Structure formats: C-alpha cells, structure tokens
Amino acid sequence: MKTDERNTGSAGAEEFARLTDPFRRELLAYCYRMLGSVHDAEDLVQEVYLRAWRSYDAFDGRASLRTWLYRIATNTCLNALRHGSRRVMPSGLAAPSDDPPPPGNFAPEVTWLEPFSERLLGRAPEDPAAIVAARAGLRLALIAALQYLPGRQRAVVILRDVLAWPAADVAEMLGMTGAGVNSTLLRARARLERLVPASDEITEPDDPARRELLDRFAKAFEAVDIPAITRLLTEQAAWEMPPVPQWFSGREAIGRLLSTRLSPVPGVTRLVPTVANGQPAFGMYLRREDGVLRAHSLQVLTVTRSGITHISSFIDAGLFAYFDLPLVHADVR
C-alpha cells in the first residue's frame, strides 16, 4: 500500500488496528518493566498507539512493524522516566525495622512499585521454556531492581536479556553503536547482580512441593497460626507492605509483625490464590465490622526449595480488578 493511501478514513484505521493490535499486550508488559507500574504502562501504551497512528502514513516498512512500535514505546517510556519518580519497594528505602508500625502508617508521598497480572499477557506461550523465560522476566525482584538503572540501561537490559533482541536491532532503535549496546549491557548486568537475589532455586507452579507449601501457608494464615506461618519462611525471609515504608527481615521480626497486624480470631481473613509477576500470590480479604470480607491487599510470594523467602503485601484494593478478583468475598465455605 502506498504511504499516501494509509491514513485515510476508516479503512486506514481498520488496517492499523488489524496490524498493530497483536502487539498491544507485549508492549504493555514492556512498558511495565520499564516503569514498574501497571497504571502508568496502560497510559503509556495508549500514548504509543496514538503516536503510531499519527505517524503511520510515514512508516516505510524498512523495519518490521513490531520493531517500529517498540521504538515508539521505548522513546515514550524514556521521556516518561525523565519526568517521573522512580518506583520503589520499602526494602529499597531503608534497613529492615524491628518494631511493627501502627496501623495506617502509610507513606503516600512515595511512588511505589506495582505488581503485574499474568491475565494482562493474554494467552501463554506453548513452549515450556518460553513460559519459564517469560515468568523470569517479570519477577518482582527484577522489576524492582530495574528501577534503579538509568532509563537507557533499563531499555537495553529488557530488550537484550529479557526479550532476546539482537544487539544490532537494539542499537538501531536507541541510536547507539553495537559496541555501545554491549558496553551498556555489561554495566547494567553488573549492577543488577548486586540488586537481584539469586533465583536458581525458585520453584515453578507445577512443582508439587510448592503447591503443598502454598496450601499450608494459606491455611495457617487464615487460622492465625503465626508459628506455622513462620516455619514456612526461610531464616532471612523478608516481608514488606507498600505503602507502609517499614519492612521486616527474619522469622522472629516477621512473627512480631504478624502478631500485631492480624486479628487473633480465626476466620477474619481469607486468601484467594492467583499469580502475579509469574509468582504465586494471594488476594487477601479482611472481615470488616459489618461481617463482610472485603479486599485488603495482594500478597506476592517468592518460593524456593528452602521455603518462602519474600512476601510483598501490596495494600491496595484497587489492584484486585487486574487479577479478576472481586472486591467482596462471597465467604462460601
């Protein structure tokens, strides 16, 4: 099709949608990795498609449509990063705390990292190796660590190490040389090695031992059996609860935290299993004064063969919609 015929009326819009819509979900995941926020990523993807439509008549086909869209997405993300705040987790702000904070001790002024629902990715790849790679590229610890890299380093790591783009394509996209891309990647990898914990022992969803451990965790949590919960944790396990700025490390400190935060009465909480960032997660419901179980927080767990090493409990009921979780639990048991 000639370039002057593309952007004319509904036929051009239909062609644009037909050709570009298949890339929307992967672009959302890419923007999330860059920004650390589902909300921001959704807004950015909308902007990417608007920019792409406006310049569609100038697309000459020398690069693939996918590469062209990623170039627009990368530039849009880099521009947003220049004008935004880095998204963080409590463990990135200070040393672990010993004293449990009072209820409602939030830090709304901090721009917090957000979890990502696998539902937003659509159909999973059929290749088991591709599934594992996709999950690894969304691990919460990796997304948190990426936020500490400069924008260009962040883009290079995601494009090269997560999405496996050729160095030449990344160089052309970012206006760099191949040597520049490789040098940037080495610097970024060195920093990530210091920031991302080892994940060699992280278990996959089909691991029977992991499923059994998660069942035990949910039962112990709902029964308010704090000793049973802490026995499922590793010695140096961490627990954080954005937007609460404090975080806790070690079984003893986490046990003290839970003893002050959880009601001693069984049945006050319900955990509904889901998946976030390729990791096991639970939607936590809390029974309010009216007796109704309402959405409270989303717990994302890092599980290894040694036990649970990390729990990120995002206290934000607004996240439940992304995971197809209702705001009110039916409480049928």
177's CB contacts (< 8 A; 6+ apart) are 171
Indicate if the pLDDT at residue 62 is higher than 70. yes
Q: Note the pLDDT of residue 265.
A: 86
In percent, the amount of the chain with pLDDT more than 70 equals: 89
Cα–Cα dist 40/31, whole Å: 8
Q: Give the pLDDT band (50/70/90) at residue 149.
A: very high
CB–CB of 145/196 below 8 Å? yes
Average pLDDT on 71-99 reads: 93
Cα–Cα dist 289/303, whole Å: 33
- Give the phi and the psi of residue 183 in degrees, each rounded to 5: -65, -45
Helix axis angle for 38-54 and 9-20, nearest 10°, is 140
Q: What is the DSSP letter of 88?
A: B
Q: Please, what is the end-to-end C-alpha distance for the chain in angstroms?
A: 60
Cα–Cα dist 243/90, whole Å: 8
Query: CA distances (Å), 126 to each of 66, 134, 222, 273, in order?
Result: 21, 12, 35, 23
CB–CB of 20/69 below 8 Å? yes
Q: What is the DSSP string of 89-112?
A: -GGGTSPPPSSPPPTT---TTS-B
Q: Which of 284, 288, 271, 281 is nearest to 333 (CA)?
A: 271
The CATH class for the domain spanning 1-84 reads: mainly alpha
Look at the block and give the residue holding tokens 């607004």.
Answer: 318
Q: Which three-class secondary structure state does DSSP give residue 268?
A: coil
Cα–Cα dist 170/249, whole Å: 39
Domains 1-84 and 86-139+199-333 share a fold: no
329's CB contacts (< 8 A; 6+ apart) are 270, 272, 285, 292, 293, 294, 295
Rg of the Cα atoms in the chain: 22
Domain edges within the chain: 1-84, 86-139+199-333
CB–CB of 300/281 below 8 Å? yes
Q: Give the pLDDT band (50/70/90) at residue 12.
A: confident
Q: What CATH number was assigned to the domain covering residues 86-139+199-333? A: 3.10.450.50
Look at the block and give the residue holding tokens 């644009």.
Answer: 16
Q: Note the pLDDT of residue 124.
A: 58
Alpha helices, H only, 36-174: 38-54, 65-83, 128-136, 140-146, 151-157, 167-174
Q: Give the pLDDT band (50/70/90) at residue 9.
A: low
The predicted-structure confidence for 261-319, as pLDDT tens digits, reads as follows 998 888 899 999 999 999 999 999 999 989 999 999 999 999 988 899 999 999 999 99
Cα–Cα dist 310/168, whole Å: 37
Please give the biggest Cα pair distance in the chain. 70
- Give the phi and the psi of residue 164 in degrees, each rounded to 5: 60, 40
Q: Note the pLDDT of residue 333.
A: 57
